Structures are given as C-alpha cells and as structure tokens.
Structure 1
C-alpha cells in the first residue's frame, strides 16, 4: 500500500493531494483506494506548518522508528516505539517532520517529540531533535503544550474562534496573535488557545477551546472567554 502526497494544478491553482494506492506487482495490479485534497499552495510556502491527517500511516511510523533507533544507538537506550500521536510538516530544503509519539522505556509508556529532516531526492534523513515531553500524557484526557503556538495552523484556528464569537455575540473583535496552545487527544483533538484580540481598540486576552476532527473537516468552538485586559 502506497500513501503518496503530491502536488497538482487545478485550473492553474497548485493544490496538494493525498493518494492511497494498492499494488500487487506479481499480478500487474494497481488500484486507487483513496484520493483527496489536503491543501492548497498557500499552505506549502516555505516556513508554513501543516498537520498530517494520518499520523499512523506506515510512512510516518517508519520515520518515527528511525528516530527511536537513532536515539537508542546514540544514548544506549532501549525505547520501543508504540504509536504516533501527531505529525506536522514544514517545507524547508526538503521537509521537516515534527512528530509526537508514544514509546515504552523499561515497560513504562512515555511521550516524546522528535524533529526529522528529510530530503527524499538525496535519500537523506536526519534526526534534528528528540526529547521526552511526558509520561503517557497524550492519552485521552491528557493535555500537552504545543511547541509552535504561532504556526499558521493555530493562527487560523484562533481566527476561526474569533469570527465565531463575533457572529454569535454581534461583537467586533480583531485577532492579533496567539500566546499559547495546548492540545488534548479526544475523539479528534481539543485545542486550548490563549490569544490576544482588540475590542474597540483595546487589547484583551481570551481563552478558547476548539474541537477538531480532521477526517470529518469538523471544527467547533466549545468555549470563548475573556481573561485579561491589556493596553490600548
């Protein structure tokens, strides 16, 4: 089974798609199992972060196992990979993958984050970062900090929450910036975002809670409240 992320143009607009293709070479058999749009060219610009919809696809499990193997070798450790929890990617000279995953250490389940630089055309893979972030903290109910709160993905989520609040309350908030993001694995992902927005020229700080199910293209603001007044 091949999971392929590709770029194609649609009426001149470059978009990103994901295809799932079943191949049986000995039967000269090929079948497209899935083909879907996952983003447009604006998400693929240099420096932009996008979330991968299938973090436990074989491709990303293999990347994580590569990072675990490298860590075990360098640190004389004995981690055993369990599962991926979240994968984000960033276009650089190649691709940077930010993977949050679970592994066991002496039988105890722990949560790690790794950053892996890949240049496919050079057959190049390098673990740039590998760190422990919690003991089984990403299980359903566990809340963990997101390392890049001002990535385009979270700015878009914060803007979505502000727009939703404006619509419901007939308000006129204007989004300024994201201060902090936490995430929680539920049936999908729950994001807890602290953000700055202006209200009639006054900067105020708000907290919002947003439920996201990527596979259903579902987003819902669960909570939005003001917590601090700031300066004009």
Structure 2
C-alpha cells in the first residue's frame, strides 16, 4: 500500500475514534443536564412510556387502589395504568391515572397521588378521585421511538473517502466488540439458570417491587376466580424456576373479609418477552410455618 495513503488511513482512524468518543461524551453530558433540569423541586414531568409500563409504577397504582378500598370500604379492582407523572418534593409525588373495576363490574378512570420517600420506606396515598377528563382513557404514546439512536453527522464522503471508510471500519469494530460482549453475558446467564432448577430469591430481590407486584397480581387473580375479597398484606418468601419463561413460587400473607390474616402459597408464570403472566395456583397454608 502507498505509505502516504497508509498514514492518511491511520490518521483518519484515530480522528474518527476521537470524534466518536467526543459525541459519546457530549451525549452523556446532555442526558445528565436533562435529568437535572427535569428534577427541579416542584416541577411535574411526564414519566416515559417504558417506565409507565414497568413494575414500579404498576405497584404504586395497585397500592393506591388498595388504600382507597381500605379508607372507603370499597372493592375496586385495579385494571391498568394509563398515565403517570412525577414531582420532586420531599421525596417524590406520583400523579397516576388508572382504570379500575367497581363492585358493579363497571370500568372507570381514576386519578390518584402517591407520595414516596424511598430512604425511609414510606409511601402514602394522598388523593384518589374519579377522573372527569374523557381524554385520559386513551393512554399517551410517545411519538419518538426510543430504540432509534440519534444519527451522527458525518463528513462528505466525496471530500474525504479515506476518512469515510475508516469511520465505517471503526463503527464495525465497535459493534463487533459490543455484540461479542452481549453474547458472553447471555451465555453466562443461560449457564447460571439451567432449565428446571428452582432457586431461592435473595432478600434484596424479595423486598423489590417486581416480586411484590407478582404477589399482588396473584391475590387479585384469586379474587376474580373465587369472587373473594382478600387484601395483600406482605410477601414472606419467594423462589423462581426457569421454564419457558419463569415460574415464581411465592408465599404471602393476605387479610380475608373477616379481617383475619392468613398465609397462602401461589405460583405465577411469567414470559416477559410477550408481556404474559398467569396465576397457576393459589392455596392456603398454615400460618404456624412462618411465625
């Protein structure tokens, strides 16, 4: 190869790598600035659709319905979360819009506020009311595709063919490195989660929102099938098994219509890639085993 051309290619590779790092650094700074601006005390901001559909927001919405039922002696059943906004106060105030089914089987839209202080494990339902806004029945959808990356500005290939080619080579090498790393992680996960093995969920996972959401879901599904009025109290222990998805074995406490706290075991089957979850079993067990 012509040594002059080789030096140009080598130089362009270095320059392209530097430019990509600069773009990345600028993007990180922009994200951090946006986060700081969005979380000014008192400012209310929309929560992204991905987070609205996540376990944390659903748990807060279910919690609000349960608190309303306790205060008003009603029997609303959570249906789905429509919209969510958050406000930074002494902690965070979540403004949630949800659908719930009343005692007559009618689905209505409600607005609620839930105050959360994560550092002292406090959450409190501050307001719960029927919504008068018909537009809130339609769940907000983002017009932006979060999976579509920003396009980087590139130099005119006609002006600098060597730089253009080196950019493509650099991008390919970076992608190959990333893809190789992802494959290694996926293989490691498969090895650590052999099909059929049942394992205990750690205490940290047990106290997390995801597992609590599954326990609350199981109670609600049982109530629908048996026409009962159990109210979730707490999660005692949890195990998981890798099947076609995951099977969760949960032990929980719930309060019956007579106000008595009893222990129950349930199985919940989850396939997250198709947004599927199903309560497979729900039965009462002796409280003495978990005292």
Query: For this structure pair, what is the TM-score category when the shorter chain's length is used for normalisation?
Result: 0.3 to 0.5
- RCO higher in 1 or 2 (8 Å CA, sep ≥ 6)? 2
Q: Which has the larger radius of gyration?
A: 2
TM-score (norm 2): 0.37
